Amino acid sequence: MGRVVEVNGPLVTAELAGVATGEQVRIGKLELTGEVIARQGASALIQVYEPTESLRPGEPAEALGHPLSVELGPGLLGGIFDGVQRPLLEQAKEYGDYIPRGGHLSPLDRRRVWRFEPRPQLKTGGRVAEGEVLGTVQETESILHRILVPPDVRGELTEIAGASDVTVDAVIARVRTDNGAISQLRLFHRWPVRSPRPYRQRDNAVAPLITGQRVLDTFFPLVKGGRAAVPGPFGAGKTMVQQQIARWADTDIVIYVGCGERGNEMVDILESFPSLTDPNTGRSLMERTLLVANTSNMPVVAREASIYVGATLAEYYRDQGYDVVMVADSTSRWAEALREVAGRQGQMPVEEGYPAYLASRLAAFYERAGRVTTLSGASGSITMIGAVSPPGGDFSEPVTSHTKEIVETFWGLSKELADARHYPAVDWVESFSGYVASCSAWWAKHVDPRWQELRDIALGLLSQADELARIANLVGPEALSPQQRWTLEGAALLKEGVLQQSALDPLDSYCSPRKQFVLLEQMLAIYRQGLGVLDLGVSVQELLRLPLLASARRLKGSYANDQMEGMREFAAKVDAEFSRLATEYAAQGKARQ
Amino acid sequence: MSDKQYRLASAARGGLLYMRGVPGVALGDRVVVRDHGGRRRNGQVIRTSDEVVLIQVLEGTDGLDLERTWVRFLDQPFEIEVAPEILGRVFNGVGQPRDGRPRLLSGLTRNVNGAPVNPAARAYPREFIQTGISTIDGLDSLVRGQKLPIFSGSGLPHNRLAAQIVRQARLTSEESQFAVVFAAMGVSFSDAEFFRNSFADSGVLRNVVMFLNLADEPTIERLILPRAALTAAEYLAFERDLHVLVVMTDMTHYAEALREVATAKGDVPARKGYPGYLYSDLAELYERAGRIRERHGSITMMPVVSMPSDDITHPIPDLTGYITEGQLVLSRELNSRGIYPPVDVPPSLSRLMKDGIGKEHTREDHGRVASQLYACYARALEARNLASIIGSDELSESDQDFLTFAEAFERRFVQQGEDEDRGIIETLNLAWDLLSLLPPQALTRVDPADLAKYHRWRGDAPKFP
C-alpha cells in the first residue's frame, strides 16, 4: 500500500514502488481509479479518471496489478459506457443523475442470463486455438454474439458446457494450456485497451461502406476497413454527418465514441436510435449500436482512454467476423486531453502546446482500422471515422494536418456551405478519397458501369463552375457566354439536387445507391441536353426559366428509394421537354434560312 | 485543522500564494487569508503536496507580505448557501450578499463545482421557447435546456438583446415564468445597472438572482462566480422544479481571468496564451445547462461572448461554439445601419431547433421556411456583393428580385423594436410575406403544398411537369 504525496489536478504522485507504467491504481478514501503514466525512483505519477477534488496527501494508493482493460462479452450492444467502460445506464439507476466518484459497477450485467449454444463441432479432448468460436449467444435480435477463446489461450478442451442458460461469469469451458494449467473460460474475457487484438492477416479493403449520403458514397467514398476524417469548424455539421453514418451505414455494428462532446448529443442517439430501423435488416438501430461517452464536462483523463476503449470493443466484434464502424467525435478533444496531461507533466510542447508524440499516437490509433482475416479464419473489418475540430476552422493546425496524412478519405466541411445551409457541408474542393478505384468495381457490378465516369464528369463540372463563378463575381454573369452560364446552372443543379441532402426529410435522409446514381445521372442529363439546345439557338434565359429546373431540385425528396419508376417518368418528361425545344428551334432555324 | 492558522507563506505572486510545511491539505479546499491589516481574503487550494500547498487568492495577492500573512484552512470545499429566498437577491462572486441584506441562514450548502451529469440521465431538450424575436424564433429557435450564446463585439447591443430575451421569453404551451440567474463577470457598473433596471421595469426582479463582479473588482473571483451562479441555477431547476434562464456576461472576462492564473502557475499555453484546458474548463460551465429525466425544472443558458476584434476564430468564441448548441452572432455592419437586433443571420445557428419546431410545437412549415430564408438570404448577399462591383442596374432580373428581398428581410424581419414581442405565427407569416417577393421556382426548399398554402406570388408561375 502506497500513499499520495502530491495532487495536481488530474495528476497524482504517490509513493508506490513496484508498479509498472500503465498499471491501474486505486487512490484515496474515495477509491478513485487511475493509471500509472511514469515512474521516478520510488514514486509513481498517476493520471486519475475521476475528479480529484478533496483528495489530500497522505491518503492511500493501491496498485491493482493490471492495465486498463475492458470486459468483452454479450450485453455490450445497446449500452452506453463512459471512457473507462463504466456502465452509465446502470450508474444512473444505482447512483442517480450525477456521475459518482469511486463507483465500481461491472460493465457487463452479472445477473443477466444468456442462452449459450456450444459449437457442435467442438469435442472435449480436442484442441482449441486462440480466437476460436466456442459457441454463440443471441445478443440482440439482429446480432449473434460469438463466444471466442481469448487471444492468449490455446490448448486441450477438457470441458464444454452444453446448451444452457448462463450468466456472463459462469464457466462454460475449461482448457488445459500447454504448460499444464487449466484455464477457465466464461462468456466474457478481459483485454487491455492499449494493445491491439491479434488477427491472422490483413486483407485489402474492397467493398464500399454505403452510408446513404450522396456526397460521401458517390463523390468521396469510404470502404469497409478504411480510415476517414471529418474536419470542420463549429456549426459545419460534423456531428450530423457522424450521426447519419451511424444511422444508415451498411455495417453490422456501430461503435459511437463521444469524446469530449456534448451530453445532449449522446441523449439524442439514446432517445432516437431505438425507434429508427436499420435499412438493411429492418431491426431497431440500437440493437447494433454501442455508445462510449466521455462528454466534455467529464474528467479529461478518461477522455484520453475512451477512444482506446472504443477501438478494443470494435476489434472484439471484428474478431467475431463482423463489419464494424467506429465513429470518434472528436479526435481533437482526445488530442487535447493528451496535451493537458503532457503539459502538467512539464513535457516540452512542440506545436500549439501539443506533445511531440501526437502524430505517432494518431497514426497508431487509425492503424487499428482495417479488414482482416481473424484468428478463426473469418473476415471482419473496422472502419474508423474520426471527427476533427480544428481551432478557428484552420485545417493547417496540428491535429488536422497529421490526420490528413493518415486517412485515405477526407471529408472537409466548409463554413461557407454551412452558412448557406448547404448540408452536408462537404467541400468538394478540399475533400478527397483514395478509394474511388476500389469502389468503382462494386458500383459497376451492383449499380451502373458508368458510375466512375459520371462522378468524374460531375466533379469536373463543379470545379469548372467554381472557376466561372470567380469570373462572374468580377464582371457579372452577363459577361459570360450562354454555355458558361448554363454550366453555372448545371453545377447549381448538382449542388442542390445531388450534393445537398436533408437528414430531417424522411424520403431523403437515406438515399440508396441506385437512387444516388439516378439523381446524378438525371442532373447531368439536364445539363447535357441544355447544352445541346443552346447550340440550336435557344437562349440561356429561356432555359433558366424552365420550370423543370425547380422540379429537378426537388426530385430527391419527391420519390422514395423504392419509387424508381417515378424518377424514370420524370426523366421521360425532361427528355420530352428538351426535344420539344429542339424541334421548335430546329424548325425556326430552317425558317430563317 | 480548521482552527489552526498558519503563517508559513513562502511566496506570493500573480494571485498565487505558496505555503510550506502544511501537510495533508485537500485539493479544492477553501481557505481564508488574513493580511497584516486584518483584511480577509478568500482562497482555494489548487495544488497540494507534502511540501507545498498552492493557494489561489480570489482577491489577488497585492499587498500581502510573507511575514504577517495568516492562512486558515477551513477543511471544506468551496460551497455556497442556497435557499428558495435567493430569488430577488444580489451576491458577489463567492456567494456573499452584496445587496446590504443579511446572509441566508438556510443551512443548505452546495459545492460550486457541482458534479457532471450522467449523459444517460439527461433528457433531450425539445420544448420551443418563444423569445418574441423573429430572427431567433424563426431561424434559430431556442429550446428549453439549450445553451445558446450571443457572440458579440464591443459596442454592439448584446446587453439590450439579452435583456429583451429575459423579458419576453416564455413557452407557448405554459404560463410559467422563467426564474433568471444573472452572472456578471467584469462588467461595468452601468451595464449592471442597465440589467437591474430592465428587470425592475418589467417586474421580473423578484424572479432574478444576480451574481455580480464589476470591472474594478478582483479578477480571480470571476473564476468562482459562474460556478456559484450555476450552482444556484441547478438548485432552483433540479431541486425546486423551476425553469431557469441563465445569462452569463461576459465569458471573455472569465477566460481572461483563467489565462491570468494559468500564466502565473506556468501552465503550457496553447493558443493566444490561453491554457490547453480552456475547452474543458468552459465545458464544465456550459454543460451544466440542460434537462434531466424525471425532473421538472430545466436550465437554459445564454452566455454572452464578446469577440476580441470581432474575430470569431479567437479561442474564446471558437471553443464556446464547439461546446454550445449553436450561436447568435451580432453584426457590426447591420448595427451601423441602425438595424436592431443586429443578428448576423448566416453564421447564426441553433442545433437543437429541429426537434423543438414543426407541427407539434410551432407550425408544420417552420423548418422548411427557415431553411428557405437562409438559402434565399445567402443568394441575396451574393447578388448584393456582385451589385457592389458591377452596379445593381447590371444585375439580372432574378438577382434584382433577390436584392429587393435582402433589403426587405433586413428591414422587416431582422429589425424589430426593443419592446416588440412577435408571436411565432406572426414571425412565420412575415417570413412568407418576404418569400412572396420571390418567384416560386426560386423556392425549392419548401414543399409545393407550402407554396400553395402560404405563397402569394404576383407574377406568372409556369408548372412542371
Question: Can you list the domains of chain A with their CATH numbers?
Answer: 2-67 (2.40.30.20), 109-187 (2.40.50.100), 201-436 (3.40.50.300), 451-592 (1.10.1140.10)
Beta pairing partners, B151: B305, B329
- Asked whether residue B185 falls in the same domain as residue B264, the answer is yes
Inside any domain, residue B459: no
For the range B188-196, what are the long-range contacts, defined as Cβ-Cβ under 8 Å and sequence gap of 24 or more? B188/B214, B188/B215, B189/B214, B189/B215, B191/B159, B191/B249, B194/B159, B194/B163, B195/B159, B195/B162, B195/B163
Inside any domain, residue B361: no
Which chain A residue has its CA at the smallest distance from B287's CA?
A: A297
Sequence-ordered strand ranges (E) for A378-482: 379-388, 409-410, 432-433
- Asked whether residue B317 falls in the same domain as residue B376, the answer is no
Q: What is the CATH number of the domain that holds B41?
A: 2.40.10.170
DSSP state of B176: P
- Asked whether residue B131 falls in the same domain as residue B165, the answer is yes
Q: Which stretches of chain B score pLDDT less than 70?
A: 1-3, 175, 460-465
- Asked whether residue B97 falls in the same domain as residue B237, the answer is yes
- Examine the fold and report which residue of B306, B331, B355 is the final residue of a domain before the chain moves on: B355
Inside any domain, residue B204: yes
At which residue does the C-alpha cell 451492383 appear? Answer: A446
Per CB-CB distance under 8 Å, the chain B contacts of A573 are: 464-465
- Examine the fold and report which residue of B23, B49, B76 is the final residue of a domain before the chain moves on: B76
- Asked whether residue B421 falls in the same domain as residue B349, the answer is no
Of B49, B270, B319, the CB nearest to A352: B270
What φ, ψ does residue A4 adopt, rounded to 5°? -75, 135
Contact B385, B377 (CB under 8 A): no
Per CB-CB distance under 8 Å, the chain A contacts of B347 are: 235, 415, 419
Of A8, A96, A392, the CB nearest to B47: A8
Number of domains in chain B: 3
Q: Are A476 and B394 in contact (CB < 8 Å)?
A: yes
Q: Are A548 and B465 in contact (CB < 8 Å)?
A: yes
d(CA B189, CA B215): 7
Per CB-CB distance under 8 Å, the chain B contacts of A84 are: none
- Those residues whose C-beta lies under 8 Å from the C-beta of residue B212, and which sit 6 or more positions away, are B90, B91, B92, B93, B98, B184, B187, B192
Indicate left, alpha or beta for B14 from its phi (over 0: left) and psi (-120 to 50: alpha): left
CA-based torsion, A73, A74, A75, A78: positive or negative: positive
Contact A361, A339 (CB under 8 A): no
- Asked whether residue B376 falls in the same domain as residue B350, the answer is no
Per CB-CB distance under 8 Å, the chain B contacts of A260 are: 279-280, 283
- Asked whether residue B220 falls in the same domain as residue B299, the answer is yes
Per CB-CB distance under 8 Å, the chain B contacts of A477 are: 386, 396, 399
Q: Are B27 and A52 in contact (CB < 8 Å)?
A: yes
Contact A247, A510 (CB under 8 A): yes
Q: Are A353 and B444 in contact (CB < 8 Å)?
A: no
The ipTM is: 0.92
Kindly state the cell numbers that stand for B22: 502544511
Among A4, A7, A341, A415, the residue to mutate for chain B (most B Cβ within 10 A):
A7
- Asked whether residue B326 falls in the same domain as residue B412, the answer is no
| A376 to chain B, closest Cα gap in Å | 36
- Asked whether residue B125 falls in the same domain as residue B171, the answer is yes
- Those residues whose C-beta lies under 8 Å from the C-beta of residue B429, and which sit 6 or more positions away, are B454
Q: What is the CATH number of the domain that holds B327?
A: 3.40.50.12240
Which residues form the domain of B14?
Answer: 5-76
- Give the Å distances, CA to CA, from B162 to A563, B152, B247, B249, B341: 49, 11, 7, 10, 10
Q: Are A92 and B463 in contact (CB < 8 Å)?
A: no
Q: How many CA atoms lie within 13 A of B355 on its CB side?
A: 19
Question: Beta strand pairing status for B70-77 and B29-34?
Answer: antiparallel
- Crossing angle for the helix pair B221-234 and B251-265, to the nearest 10 degrees: 130
- Those residues whose C-beta lies under 8 Å from the C-beta of residue A408, and which sit 6 or more positions away, are A222, A226, A227, A228, A433, A434, A435
Q: pLDDT tens per residue, chain A (593 residues)?
A: 899 999 999 999 999 989 999 999 999 999 999 999 999 999 999 999 999 999 999 999 999 999 999 999 999 999 999 999 999 999 999 999 999 998 889 999 999 999 999 999 999 999 999 999 999 999 999 999 999 999 999 999 999 999 999 999 999 999 999 899 999 999 999 999 999 999 999 999 889 999 999 999 999 999 999 999 999 999 999 999 999 999 999 999 999 999 999 999 999 999 999 999 988 888 999 999 999 999 999 888 899 999 999 999 999 999 999 999 999 999 999 999 999 888 888 888 898 889 999 999 999 999 999 999 999 999 999 999 999 999 989 999 999 999 999 999 999 999 999 998 899 999 999 999 999 999 999 999 999 999 999 999 999 999 999 999 999 888 877 789 999 999 999 999 999 999 999 998 999 999 999 999 999 999 999 999 999 999 999 999 999 999 999 999 999 999 999 999 999 999 999 999 999 999 998 887 766 55
Inside any domain, residue B422: yes
- Give the burial class of A558: count Cβ atoms within 10 A of its Cβ; 0-12 exposed, 13-18 middle, 19 or more buried: middle
Inside any domain, residue B463: no
Which chain B residue has its CA at the smallest distance from A11's CA?
A: B47
| B355 to chain A, closest Cα gap in Å | 10
Which chain B residue has its CA at the smallest distance from A572's CA?
A: B465
Inside any domain, residue B168: yes
Per CB-CB distance under 8 Å, the chain B contacts of A349 are: 268
- Those residues whose C-beta lies under 8 Å from the C-beta of residue A53, and which sit 6 or more positions away, are B26, B27, B28, B77, B113
pLDDT in tens, A147-175: 999 999 999 999 999 999 999 999 999 99
Per CB-CB distance under 8 Å, the chain A contacts of B374 are: 420-421
pLDDT in tens, A205-214: 889 999 999 9
Per CB-CB distance under 8 Å, the chain B contacts of A297 are: 116-117, 280, 283-284, 287-288
- Asked whether residue B163 falls in the same domain as residue B229, the answer is yes
Of A264, A419, A496, the CB nearest to B325: A264
d(CA A565, CA A518): 11
- CA A63 from chain centre, in angstroms, equals 35
- Examine the fold and report which residue of B336, B355, B374 is the final residue of a domain before the chain moves on: B355
Q: How far apart are the first and last CA of chain B?
A: 85
Q: How many CA atoms lie within 13 A of B461 on its CB side?
A: 16
Q: Are A263 and B117 in contact (CB < 8 Å)?
A: yes
Q: Are A97 and B292 in contact (CB < 8 Å)?
A: yes
Beta pairing partners, A326: A255, A384
Which chain B residue has its CA at the smallest distance from A260's CA?
A: B280
Per CB-CB distance under 8 Å, the chain A contacts of B287 are: 262-263, 295-297
- Asked whether residue B244 falls in the same domain as residue B300, the answer is yes
